[in-house]
């Protein structure tokens, strides 16, 4: 199995890139995104299925409209943990630091989520509790399917990305295009 080799290589690359430095738990989080809101199932007019593989999405771009509520069905057909996160390039950069910290703390592994470590109290380390529960993002373990419903409120530069350490850098990112 290639996962241990991949994880070790990834860790060395990320440390060399300086992505393993400590950060605040709320960096990139804790605020309501200006580009949209969690959607309501009753308002969904369209469903987009996104398949994740190691390390790619089935879509390079997804066209949406301002005011549209879309249900995303994310199916992980890869062997690694993947994320579907809606955000700006700057938000993804900040979130990648948090995801790296979650990986370093054992909350996330290359292939999954440690539910017990996700519940741990981080206050002893001077940090706010860290969870991966933002409404614009889902983690999808291998073989699993998750859904995310999102209402896009205004056109802007937005991406969908996997911020698991090293995945964005290897090209696991796509763009949202706003149509009329």
118-170 pLDDT, tens digit each: 877 655 555 555 566 789 999 999 999 999 999 999 999 999 999 999 999 99
Those residues with Cβ within 8 angstroms of residue 146's Cβ, 6 or more apart along the chain or in another chain: 73, 74, 84, 138, 139, 140
- Annotated domain spans of the chain: 3-179
Query: Rounded to an integer, what distance in angstroms lies between the CA atom of residue 42 and that of residue 39?
Result: 9
On whether the pTM is more than 0.75, the answer is yes
Confidence grade of residue 116 (pLDDT, cut at 50, 70, 90): confident
Contact 75, 145 (CB under 8 A): yes
Residue 169, SS3? Answer: coil
CA distances from 100 to 10, 19, 25, 166 (A): 11, 7, 11, 9
> 3.40.50.300, 2.60.40.420, 2.150.10.10, 3.30.1370.140: which CATH number matches 3-179?
2.60.40.420
2-30 pLDDT, tens digit each: 444 444 444 434 433 433 333 222 334 44
């Amino acid at each position: 199995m290639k996962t241990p080799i991949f994880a070790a290589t990834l860790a060395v690359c990320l440390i060399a890139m300086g992505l393993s430095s400590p950060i605040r738990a709320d960096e990139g989080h804790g605020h309501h995104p200006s580009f949209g809101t969690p959607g309501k199932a009753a308002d969904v007019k369209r469903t987009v299925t996104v398949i994740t593989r190691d390390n790619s999405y089935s879509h390079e771009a997804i066209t949406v409209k301002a005011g549209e509520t879309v249900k995303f069905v994310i199916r992980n057909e890869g062997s690694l943990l993947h994320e579907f996160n809606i955000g700006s390039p700057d938000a993804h950069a900040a979130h990648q630091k948090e995801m790296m910290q979650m990986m370093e703390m054992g909350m996330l592994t290359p292939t999954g989520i440690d539910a017990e470590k996700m519940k741990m109290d981080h206050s002893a380390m001077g940090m706010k509790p860290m969870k991966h529960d933002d409404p614009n993002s889902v983690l999808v373990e291998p073989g699993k399917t998750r859904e995310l419903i999102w209402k896009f409120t205004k056109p802007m530069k937005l991406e969908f990305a996997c911020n698991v350490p090293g995945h964005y850098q290897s090209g696991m990112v796509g763009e949202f295009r706003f149509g009329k």
